[in-house]
Amino acid sequence: MAEELEAERHDVREDGRRPPRAVVGSHRIEEEMFGRAFDGKVIRRIRVFVAPYRAKLALAVAAVLLFTATQLVIPLIIRYAIDNGMAGGVADQGPLTLAVIAFAIAILFNFAASLVQETVVGRVAENVLFDIRRAMFSHLQRVSLSFMDKTEVGRLMSRLQGDVNSMQEFLETSVISVGDVVLLFGIVAAMLYLDVRLGLLTLAVLPVLFLVRIVWLPRARAAFMAAHESNSVANGALAEAIHGVRAVQSMDRQDVNFALFDDKASANLRAHLTAAKYAQVMVPIVDTLTGIAMAIVVVVGGSMVLGGGLDVGVMVAFLFYIQRFFDPIRSLTMQYSVMQRAMASGQRLIAVLDVEVAVKDKPDALTLPADMDGSVEFRNVTFGYDPKHPVLKNVSFTVRPGETVAVVGPTGSGKSSAMALVHRFYDVQDGAVLVGGHDVRDLTQQSLGEEIAMVLQEPFLFTGTVRENIRYNKADATDDAIEEAARAVGAHDFIMALPQGYDTELGERGGSLSLGQRQLLSFARALVADAKILVLDEATASIDSYTERQIQKALATVLEGRTGLVIAHRLATIRGADRIMVLREGELIESGNHEELMRAEGLYASLYTLNFSSFDDIPEGHFATSQSDGAGSRS
């Protein structure tokens, strides 16, 4: 089967050479860009965000209407001046003066209305954008971690940025659409009012334009989207070349890659040229229709003027209106796309806002007292991300105040899940987790968080100075306390060697520091948090022996006087613990200190004697045989 696919994929080309087994860039699966033009559910949800600005929006709509009215009235004023003041041999200063005064008033209203309309709409749209983003961001702070685990950060960011922006665009254009619709109907009405017959004749070109655009739009949009997509394909390949440049150069792939990239860049060029054709083909069509409309006014309108059936000013006004009336149609059809895009984005925004908040404070949740004893107890805990497949099965244990417990076991044994439950990142399905004698579900998450410090396997630092990172959200930690913590974990020396010491700005995610140094900073951060309980997931990545020694010392310091739960990988850490708990497939199978467990000759002893540097990276085969092989192979 695999061979067949292979043969198919690597067909021999005409020149007898196989194409290379190579691609540049990866094709991103684009999200649905357009939804239905109108989705009641989306509108209802978005309305909540618009509601606070209702009064302002009403004002904006009023301003839009006034603005449109002034635009409509100007040709009428000109017509009045011509017909009553100057045409057909009449020469009267009165109507002209009147017209100029009316004109002055109209443009003042126009000015005021446009100022109000655009300012209010622009600002409200910005506000709504920021409000929606805040609501989503704040919601993401509370949703269950299993959702966050499943979802890529990039995907969430595109919700928080791209999708929110298209809602803003939608809001702005929908107010302006009101103006367009009014302008369109206004022009039609004005023309019919001035002269029904000429009006109807001239307006006959409108349906033609509508029809043309309806035929054109889906095709043009397909071309625009193809161009858009080919952009992201080409850019993706470029980004890959930048990120992977060292690998590319060391494997000398430049020539092959350049040829492959050329294919993508040419496809991009072709797609854009096609899109440009679609975009431009509308220009002569609209101009032809405008020309027809003007010709009609000149021939028919002109004859009517000649026959005395029409004032010449009306003819001039018609010519003015014709110049304008294709604009609203163009922008309305554009707004149709904006709406469709907004609906698709709206659905994705709602999906984020509707993610369930699984872990909530009870209405009468207690504050965990700061003087609690620091004990941790698991009482018959059963837990699974998917209730059908529990990762912890009926686990019970107690950690006494001040005790350090090392949790070991192969990958997938449930160690990390157990630690996450202490902090109530998830709720148990059965049984209970107790901290300081209280069921964690009865406590406020805030107070629980304050009493449990965590050090994660991957040290995560934030943009900001070293000091800010160690302090993190412990706002009342003094600079002295921070320095003391850094000294305690052995980070002080390297911090002082940085250009600005504690005030050195760290690069993105602490990128300017080595892994070991980031590790030490995250220890210091946990120390400053000054919690009774420390949950620590030891790093698996191998660190050089020198830093390793420092980290071991820091670990001992941090655990002093605290209850410690450590997911341990290193032998030194495991042997240093007061007690070792061995988990396998969600069950606690062994517990005791190193000597006891070695004597028991169980899983721990057999893993230990295999001499793996870490208990996590044990090949599957070894693990299965290790139990039958038994212990003592190294003695």
Q: For residues 107-146, which are near other proteins according to CB under 8 A? A: 107, 110-111, 114-115, 118-119, 122-123, 126-127, 130, 133-134, 137-138, 140-142, 145
Residue type, 250: S
Using an 8 Å Cβ cutoff, are 559 and 402 in contact?
A: no
Task: For residues 307 and 301, give the distance between their C-alpha atoms in angstroms, rounded to a whole number.
Answer: 10
Q: What's the order of all strands across the beta sheet hosting 579-584?
A: 452-455, 533-537, 563-567, 404-408, 579-584, 587-592
Within positions 315 to 344, which residues make up the interface with other proteins, using CB under 8 A? Answer: 315-316, 319-320, 323
Q: In 141-204, which residue ranges form alpha helices assigned H by DSSP?
A: 145-150, 153-158, 164-194, 196-203
Q: Determine if 460 is a binding residue for other proteins (CB under 8 A).
A: yes
Q: Determine if 204 is a binding residue for other proteins (CB under 8 A).
A: no
Helix/strand/coil for 567: strand
Least distance CB 454 / other proteins (angstroms): 3
Q: What's the order of all strands across the beta sheet hosting 430-435?
A: 392-399, 376-383, 430-435, 438-439
Binding other proteins by CB under 8 A: which of 13, 40, 611, 628?
611
Using an 8 Å Cβ cutoff, are 11 and 221 in contact?
A: no
Q: Determine if 265 is a binding residue for other proteins (CB under 8 A).
A: yes
Q: Determine if 496 is a binding residue for other proteins (CB under 8 A).
A: no
Q: Determine if 241 is a binding residue for other proteins (CB under 8 A).
A: yes
Give the nearer residue to other proteins in terms of CB position, either 332 or 539.
Answer: 539
Within positions 557 to 586, which residues make up the interface with other proteins, using CB under 8 A? Answer: 571-572, 575
Give the nearer residue to other proteins in terms of CB position, either 496 or 572.
Answer: 572
Q: Determine if 556 is a binding residue for other proteins (CB under 8 A).
A: no
Long-range contacts, 236-241 (Cβ 8 Å, 24+): 236/25, 236/26, 236/27, 236/28, 237/24, 237/25, 237/261, 237/264, 238/25, 239/25, 240/24, 240/25, 240/26, 241/24
* Burial class (CB within 10 angstroms; exposed 0-12, middle 13-18, buried 19+) of 611: exposed
Q: Determine if 244 is a binding residue for other proteins (CB under 8 A).
A: yes
Q: Determine if 22 is a binding residue for other proteins (CB under 8 A).
A: yes
Q: Determine if 529 is a binding residue for other proteins (CB under 8 A).
A: yes
Give the nearer residue to other proteins in terms of CB position, either 266 or 429.
Answer: 266
Q: Determine if 99 is a binding residue for other proteins (CB under 8 A).
A: yes
Within positions 420 to 459, which residues make up the interface with other proteins, using CB under 8 A? Answer: 423, 425, 445-446, 448-450, 452-454, 456
Q: State the CB neighbour count (10 A cutoff) for residue 65.
A: 16
Which tokens belong to 341? 């895009």
Least distance CB 606 / other proteins (angstroms): 13
What residues contact residue 172 under an 8 Å CB cut-off, 6+ apart? 121, 122, 125
Q: Determine if 473 is a binding residue for other proteins (CB under 8 A).
A: yes
Q: In 297-431, which residue ranges form alpha helices assigned H by DSSP?
A: 302-306, 312-324, 326-353, 415-422
Q: State the CB neighbour count (10 A cutoff) for residue 316.
A: 19
Q: Determine if 201 is a binding residue for other proteins (CB under 8 A).
A: no
Using an 8 Å Cβ cutoff, are 528 and 472 in contact?
A: yes
Least distance CB 237 / other proteins (angstroms): 8
Q: Determine if 396 is a binding residue for other proteins (CB under 8 A).
A: no
Q: Determine if 212 is a binding residue for other proteins (CB under 8 A).
A: no
Give the nearer residue to other proteins in terms of CB position, either 303 or 627.
Answer: 303
Within positions 26 to 85, which residues make up the interface with other proteins, using CB under 8 A? Answer: 26, 28, 74, 77-78, 81-82, 85
Binding other proteins by CB under 8 A: which of 208, 215, 222, 269?
269
Give the H/E segment covering residue 397.
strand 392-399
Q: Determine if 306 is a binding residue for other proteins (CB under 8 A).
A: yes
Binding other proteins by CB under 8 A: which of 13, 16, 21, 476?
21
Binding residues with other proteins: total (CB under 8 A): 164
Q: Determine if 545 is a binding residue for other proteins (CB under 8 A).
A: yes
What residues contact residue 169 under an 8 Å CB cut-off, 6+ apart? 125, 338, 341, 342
Q: Determine if 635 is a binding residue for other proteins (CB under 8 A).
A: yes
Stretch that binds other proteins, among 178-186, 297-305, 397-405, 560-568 (CB under 8 A): 297-305
Q: Determine if 285 is a binding residue for other proteins (CB under 8 A).
A: yes
Task: For residues 550 and 493, give the distance between their C-alpha atoms in angstroms, rounded to a whole number.
Answer: 12
Stretch that binds other proteins, among 181-189, 207-215, 393-401, 607-615 (CB under 8 A): 607-615
Using an 8 Å Cβ cutoff, are 352 and 397 in contact?
A: no
Task: For residues 375 and 558, give the distance between their C-alpha atoms in angstroms, rounded to a whole number.
Answer: 17
Least distance CB 635 / other proteins (angstroms): 7
Q: Determine if 272 is a binding residue for other proteins (CB under 8 A).
A: yes
Using an 8 Å Cβ cutoff, are 519 and 555 in contact?
A: no
Binding other proteins by CB under 8 A: which of 8, 11, 280, 388?
280
Least distance CB 277 / other proteins (angstroms): 7
Binding other proteins by CB under 8 A: which of 12, 43, 200, 276?
276
Least distance CB 472 / other proteins (angstroms): 6
Binding other proteins by CB under 8 A: which of 281, 370, 496, 556?
281
Least distance CB 432 / other proteins (angstroms): 20
- CA 572 vs CA 264, 533, 577: distances in Å: 53, 21, 9
Q: Determine if 365 is a binding residue for other proteins (CB under 8 A).
A: no
b/e code 68-106 from CB counts within 10 Å (16+ = b): bbbbbbbbbbbbbbbbbbbbeeeeeeebbebbeebbeeb
